[in-house]
Every structure is written in structure tokens, then in C-alpha cells.
């Protein structure tokens, strides 16, 4: 039996992997001092002069890699969350992990930890993400259905959001408030390879956990009862997706702040290309998310502006119209996609 | 006699203040097509879901192949009993052949990773449900009758010795009801054990080897449909005044209205 006319997954993954590589190289080449592609490649492989070494290894490559990692983790988490909840509107932050991670970072800013010790900001976000993940994983074992889990996630989101607003409200001075707002807008500017080394393993662990759920997400297409009948352990799947999304999303918030729309839009872009199967959509969704965010960051850098354009803002400006386009196409076709 | 494929023994399910099952016992053997009948809310679906480990028992036991449901891993359970739930919501517009291939989940199979054995099981299910022409269709665009056949095929593809089908003919036209019941009857004749919740008493008489009638969580009667489903029993179970009309082609139930008081 054929895999169906709409299934391009075998070619899609290599194509998106190549696109990821090209996007990162492009991001290394473009900037205030454009660098020829040949020079980028030469510098990457140990050649090039000292200036281009510095530009590439300390500035552009970490930034591009951070954008790719964050985009990939959001694309993957969004795909998994939509598959688990069987809902095209689900996004990685739906269970409250993103806001709680943001709260952790804002606490680090509020109490001035990050002023003396820069990684404190990222560590605060990681701690917030891990706490939220533990709570959601605990809840996932006890709830009767997914609605119960979503309600707990919404509750956690609201609480963390309220505390975040409280800290902004009570910010000791305008500079602190500015730091908070600026961080919350989401950016990968000035990230170093050591920043990536801090969040990267957490994101990678989350990604591995999510990849274990692929088959279960496919089975959930037919509904929770049928999936149970097929032999899927629903509780285990819920916990794995909660933990995986928590780690991957939380880690990405720690690395770049809150970046919206990549997580919700990317799965929709790739799902039609893999026969709509949410399990098979996971890896392409991750790769496409990475490409999208690297390109969005190139856009953020190249658009001339007085203030630095934040990646979170650009991602939302690109993502929201895409989302509308998907919604329009979906209602035109009159089917669930 | 060989051991039953599925067995409920003195099953009690308490939900809040209400006892949904009050000591219900039920055995399903290979080769049987049992029609589980009873009015809405009598506990038919709960009984079926107990046998799948979806509803915990307050007391009593639910056994699959002699083992308590709760002691089995999800995979082992699924290899012993396939399940066709009452509600069959499809979240994404996957192709029909993908939905059927998911029936091989417990064996590690699905589209793109079907072994020769998986593929043979899928092909057999496709043929049994006459779905050859629909394989590449988007499942969300099918008519109710077509979709019902796809879900039955998905359940058959598991090739489990037992199948629980909860209202497989609900909301279908007479031809599709007949088609689905015919598929289940053939499956039972070839050695499977099938427990199906049905509301259409005439269909039950026509196809089931045995009926179990339950009301208020208790078994009212169990046995060959023609012997069990008397007007008296129907009045007691459903509160209807119904008679069988028979001709050379078979019998059909005609409902005249609510049963008279006191029956």
C-alpha cells in the first residue's frame, strides 16, 4: 500500500535539515559587516583572519544557533502539544511552563541577581521551567482527562502571569522595569556558546523525551478511547509530553525569552506534507521551526531601526499573519487540519 | 469448555451515590457474537469499558484471557481485545489506510512501518469491510457509513481474539447497519469472540449468537436471541409494548408504544 499522495516525510526531513544548515550559514554571512559565504565557510573550518573569527564564533554563530535551537524546540513542543491535546490551537506554553520560566527570569532581574552574575537570569528561568514541569507532570498522572490538565495549565499560567505583573508593578526603578520588559520581548542577541551550553542540554533532553511519544501521538488521532484500545498507555504519554514540552519550552524561554507563534504555526505548515499524522510531523516541525526563527532573526538584524528589533516581536509579526492564512485556508477547505 | 476470552465476574461499579453495575457477570467465548442490550443508562457501555480497564471496579473482577485487566500491560491487553468505542472523533485529516494501519499499533506497526504480518492483517481487514476504493481518501471527508466501516476495519486489523464494539451501528442507515453486523457475524463465525452493544433488537435477533439484556446494572436475561427476547422481557427491559411479526424471511420487532403499567 502506498504511503499516500500527501506523504513527503522521507524527502522532507533531509530537505529541512539542509535548509537549516543554509539558514545558519546565511545568518553568519549577513550583518553590519557582510561576510562572503566562502569566507564564512573558511572561518568555520579554522581559516579566516582574527576579526572574522571573532565575529563568527563570538557573535553570529552563537546567535544563529540559539535562534535555531529555540525555533526547533518550540516547533517540536508545539507539534507534540497539538498532537496530545488533539487541538490545532495548542501551543507549547499552554500548560503554563513558558510563563513560569519567564517569572523565574524576572525574579532574577527583580532581586538584582542577574546584575552581578549574568547567567542568573537564565538559571532563574530554568528553575522556573523545571518547577512548572514537575508540577504539570505530577498533575498529568492524576487528572482524568486532558481537559483537567489544560485547566491546571491555564491556572498555573494565570498565577505565574499575575506574579510576573506584580514584580513589574513593584519594580524598584525604571531600569529594572526596562530590563524586564526587554527580556520578556524575546531575543537571541548577544548569546554566547556558553549560554547555549547551559540551556542546550535541557532542551535536548526535552526533545528526546518528546520524540519517544511519536507513535502515541499518531494513535491519539483516533481519540483517547480508541488509542487506549490500540494499546497506548495514556497516562505515560501525557506525562512524557508534559515533561518533554516543559524541558524543551522552558529551556528555550531561558535561552531567548518568550517567543510566540513559532510553536503554534510551524506544526500547521508541515502537517499537510506528512499526511497530517501528528507523530510524523514532529521532526519536520522542529526543523522548520529552527529555519523560521533563524530567518526571523536575520530579519530582526537587517531591518534598519533606532532600537534593536526584538526577535520575539519579529516572530509574532511574521507568525500572526501566517496563522491567519492557515485559519483562512482551513475554513475554506472546511475540514480539520 | 475452554476459558472465556473476556469475563466479568460479579462486577460492581459505584459512581458517586449511584451503583452503575450491581454484580454483573458476563462471559464471552470464541465464536460468539454477543449483543449487549438494555435501555439507555442500564450500564452496557460501563460493562464494556470495565473489560478494557477504562472503568475501575468497586468489587468483582474483569478478566481478559483469564488475567485481571489491571495486571496486563496496555500492549498485552490490546493484543487480546480490540476496541471500537462509541464516540469516534478523528482529530486530523489522515488517509483511510493510515487509520486502518493504526490497528497494528500493539504490534509496533503503523503506516511506514508495517511488517509483512501487519500488512496482511490490514489487507484482510480492508477486504472484510470492502474499503479497497477508499484507502487514499481523507478520513474526515467520508460519509457516516463509510467512516463506520473504516473504524471497524481498524479494529479488525488488530487480529485480537476478542473485540468489543460499542454501538457500531449507531446513526447508520439500514444498509450500513446490516453491512457492519454482517462483518461482525462473519468475524465471529471464523472464530473471534465479539461483544457488541446494540440498540436495534431486530438486528440482534438477526445476527447475534447470544444476547445479554441488562437493566439497572443487572443481568435480566442471557441466551439465544429468539428465546430471550420475548414481548414480556422487552416490556420489562425497555418499558415497551412490542410484538414480533414473522414471515418466511424472518422476524421483525414492531413497537406499539409504552408498555402498560404494571408490566
Summarize pLDDT for A228-259 with one digit per residue, the tens. 999 999 999 999 999 999 999 999 999 999 89
Asked if A29 contacts A35 with a C-beta cutoff of 8 angstroms, the reply is yes
pLDDT class for A47, splitting at 50, 70, 90?
confident
Is residue A41 scored above 50 in pLDDT? yes
Summarize pLDDT for A5-18 with one digit per residue, the tens. 455 667 899 999 99
Is residue B10 scored above 90 in pLDDT? yes
Summarize pLDDT for A294-321 with one digit per residue, the tens. 999 999 998 888 888 899 999 999 888 9
Summarize pLDDT for B55-95 with one digit per residue, the tens. 999 999 999 999 999 999 999 999 999 999 998 899 999 99
Among the partner-chain residues B73, B93, B99, the one whose CB lies closest to the CB of A337 is B93
Is residue A279 scored above 60 in pLDDT? yes
Q: Under CATH, which number does the domain B6-228 receive? A: 3.40.50.300
Buried b (16+ CB within 10 A) or exposed e, A187-221: bbbebeeebbebbbebbeebbebbbebbbbbbbbb
**Lowest model confidence (mean pLDDT) among B7-11, B111-115, B172-176, B216-220:** B111-115
Q: How far is A27 from chain B (nearest CA, A)?
A: 35
Across the range B180-201, mean pLDDT stands at 95
Does the beta-carbon distance from B88 to A278 stay under 8 Å? no
Among the partner-chain residues B75, B79, B90, the one whose CB lies closest to the CB of A222 is B90
Is residue A268 scored above 50 in pLDDT? yes
DSSP line for A179-225: HHHHHHT---TT--HHHHHHHHHHHHHHHHHHHTTHHHHHHHTT-HH
Task: Scan residues 42-101 of B and list those with Cβ closer than 8 Å to A.
Answer: 52-54, 73-75, 77-79, 81-85, 87-95, 97-99, 101
Q: Give all strands of the β-sheet with B33-37 in edge-to-edge order.
A: B81-84, B162-166, B193-197, B33-37, B210-215, B218-223
Does the beta-carbon distance from B119 to A6 stay under 8 Å? no
Does the beta-carbon distance from B110 to A218 stay under 8 Å? yes
Distance of CA A174 to the CA centre of its chain: 29
Asked if A216 contacts B39 with a C-beta cutoff of 8 angstroms, the reply is no
Domains of chain A: 13-333 (1.10.3470.10)
Across the range A198-224, mean pLDDT stands at 95
Does the beta-carbon distance from A221 to B82 stay under 8 Å? no
Asked if A287 contacts A11 with a C-beta cutoff of 8 angstroms, the reply is no
Is residue B1 scored above 80 in pLDDT? no
Reported for A122-126, long-range contacts at CB under 8 A and 24+ positions apart, including other chains, are A122/A195, A122/A198, A122/A199, A122/A254, A122/A255, A123/A198, A123/A254, A125/A101, A125/A250, A125/A253, A125/A254, A126/A101, A126/A198, A126/A199, A126/A202, A126/A250, A126/A251, A126/A254
ipTM: 0.93
Summarize pLDDT for A319-337 with one digit per residue, the tens. 889 888 888 887 777 544 4
Q: How far is A231 from chain B (nearest CA, A)?
A: 5
Q: How far is B138 from chain A (nearest CA, A)?
A: 9
Summarize pLDDT for A136-150 with one digit per residue, the tens. 999 988 888 888 899
- pLDDT at residue A2 in the model: 42
Across the range B163-173, mean pLDDT stands at 93
Which residues partner with A96 through β-bridges?
A: none
This prediction has a pTM of 0.91
Does the beta-carbon distance from B74 to A215 stay under 8 Å? no
Task: Give chain B positions within 8 Å (CB) of A233.
Answer: 73-74
pLDDT class for A260, splitting at 50, 70, 90?
confident
Summarize pLDDT for A89-119 with one digit per residue, the tens. 888 888 999 999 999 999 999 998 888 888 8
Q: Where do the structural domains in chain B lie, given as residue ranges? A: 6-228, 230-263
Q: Is B124 on the interface with A (CB under 8 A)?
A: no
Counting one residue from A and one from B, how many pairs have CB atoms under 8 Å apart? 122
Task: Give chain A positions within 8 Å (CB) of B151.
Answer: 222, 226
Higher pLDDT, A326 or B228: B228
Strands B162-166 and B193-197: parallel
Does the beta-carbon distance from B111 to A219 stay under 8 Å? no
Does the beta-carbon distance from A225 to B83 stay under 8 Å? yes
Across the range A251-272, mean pLDDT stands at 92
- pLDDT at residue A303 in the model: 85
Amino acid at each position: 500500500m502506498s504511503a499516500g499522495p500527501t506523504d513527503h516525510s522521507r524527502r522532507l526531513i533531509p530537505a529541512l535539515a539542509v535548509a537549516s544548515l543554509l539558514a545558519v550559514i546565511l545568518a553568519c554571512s549577513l550583518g553590519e559587516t557582510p561576510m562572503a559565504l566562502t569566507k564564512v565557510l573558511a572561518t568555520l573550518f579554522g581559516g579566516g583572519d582574527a576579526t572574522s573569527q571573532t565575529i563568527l564564533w563570538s557573535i553570529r554563530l552563537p546567535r544563529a544557533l540559539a535562534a535555531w535551537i529555540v525555533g526547533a524546540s518550540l516547533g517540536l513542543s508545539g507539534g507534540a502539544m497539538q498532537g496530545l491535546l488533539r487541538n490545532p490551537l495548542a501551543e507549547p506554553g499552554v500548560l503554563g511552563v513558558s510563563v513560569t520560566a519567564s517569572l523565574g527570569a524576572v525574579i532574577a532581574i527583580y532581586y538584582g541577581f542577574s546584575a552581578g552574575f549574568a547567567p542568573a537570569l537564565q538559571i532563574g528561568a530554568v528553575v522556573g521551567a523545571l518547577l512548572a514541569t514537575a508540577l504539570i507532570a505530577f498533575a498529568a498522572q492524576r487528572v482524568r482527562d486532558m481537559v483537567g490538565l489544560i485547566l491546571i495549565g491555564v491556572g498555573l499560567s494565570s498565577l505565574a502571569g499575575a506574579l510576573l505583573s506584580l514584580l513589574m508593578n513593584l519594580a524598584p526603578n525604571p531600569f529594572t522595569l526596562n530590563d524586564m520588559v526587554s527580556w520578556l520581548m524575546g531575543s537571541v542577541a548577544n548569546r554566547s556558546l556558553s549560554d547555549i551550553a547551559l540551556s542546550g542540554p535541557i532542551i535536548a533532553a526535552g526533545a528526546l523525551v518528546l520524540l519517544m511519544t511519536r507513535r502515541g501521538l499518531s494513535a491519539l488521532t483516533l481519540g483517547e478511547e480508541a488509542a487506549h484500545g490500540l494499546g497506548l498507555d495514556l497516562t505515560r504519554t501525557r506525562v512524557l509530553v508534559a515533561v518533554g514540552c516543559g524541558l524543551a519550552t522552558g529551556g528555550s524561554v531561558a535561552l531567548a525569552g518568550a517567543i510566540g507563534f513559532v510553536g503554534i504555526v510551524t506544526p500547521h505548515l508541515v502537517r499537510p506534507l506528512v499526511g497530517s499524522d501528528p507523530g510524523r510531523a514532529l521532526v519536520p516541525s522542529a526543523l522548520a521551526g529552527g529555519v523560521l526563527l533563524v530567518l526571523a532573526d536575520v530579519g530582526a538584524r537587517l531591518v534598519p531601526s533606532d532600537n534593536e528589533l526584538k526577535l520575539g516581536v519579529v516572530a509574532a509579526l511574521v507568525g500572526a499573519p501566517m496563522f491567519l492564512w492557515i485559519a483562512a485556508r482551513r475554513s475554506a477547505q472546511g475540514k480539520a487540519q | 469448555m475452554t476459558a472465556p476470552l473476556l469475563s466479568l465476574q460479579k462486577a460492581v461499579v459505584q459512581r458517586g451515590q449511584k451503583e452503575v453495575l450491581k454484580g454483573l457477570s458476563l462471559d464471552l467465548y470464541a465464536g460468539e457474537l454477543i449483543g449487549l442490550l438494555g435501555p439507555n443508562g442500564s450500564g452496557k457501555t460501563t460493562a464494556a469499558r470495565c473489560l478494557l480497564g477504562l472503568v475501575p471496579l468497586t468489587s468483582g473482577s474483569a478478566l481478559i484471557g483469564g488475567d485481571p485487566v489491571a495486571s496486563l500491560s496496555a500492549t498485552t491487553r490490546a493484543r487480546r481485545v480490540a476496541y471500537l468505542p462509541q464516540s469516534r472523533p478523528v482529530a486530523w485529516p489522515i488517509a483511510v489506510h493510515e487509520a486502518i494501519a493504526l490497528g497494528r499499533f500493539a504490534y509496533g506497526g503503523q503506516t511506514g512501518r508495517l511488517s509483512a504480518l501487519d500488512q496482511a492483517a490490514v489487507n484482510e481487514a480492508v477486504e472484510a469491510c470492502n474499503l479497497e476504493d477508499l484507502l487514499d481518501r481523507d478520513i474526515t471527508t467520508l460519509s457516516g457509513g463509510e467512516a463506520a466501516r473504516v473504524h471497524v476495519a481498524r479494529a479488525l486489523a488488530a487480529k485480537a481474539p476478542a473485540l468489543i464494539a460499542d454501538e457500531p451501528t449507531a446513526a447508520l442507515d439500514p444498509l450500513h447497519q446490516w453491512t457492519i453486523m454482517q462483518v461482525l457475524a462473519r468475524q465471529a463465525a471464523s472464530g473471534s469472540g465479539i461483544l457488541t452493544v446494540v440498540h436495534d433488537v431486530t438486528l440482534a435477533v438477526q445476527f447475534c449468537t447470544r444476547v445479554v439484556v441488562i437493566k439497572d446494572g443487572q443481568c435480566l436475561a442471557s441466551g439465544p436471541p429468539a428465546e430471550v427476547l420475548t414481548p414480556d422481557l422487552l416490556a420489562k427491559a425497555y418499558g415497551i409494548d412490542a410484538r414480533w411479526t414473522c414471515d418466511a424471511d424472518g422476524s421483525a420487532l414492531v413497537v406499539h408504544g409504552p408498555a402498560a403499567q404494571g408490566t
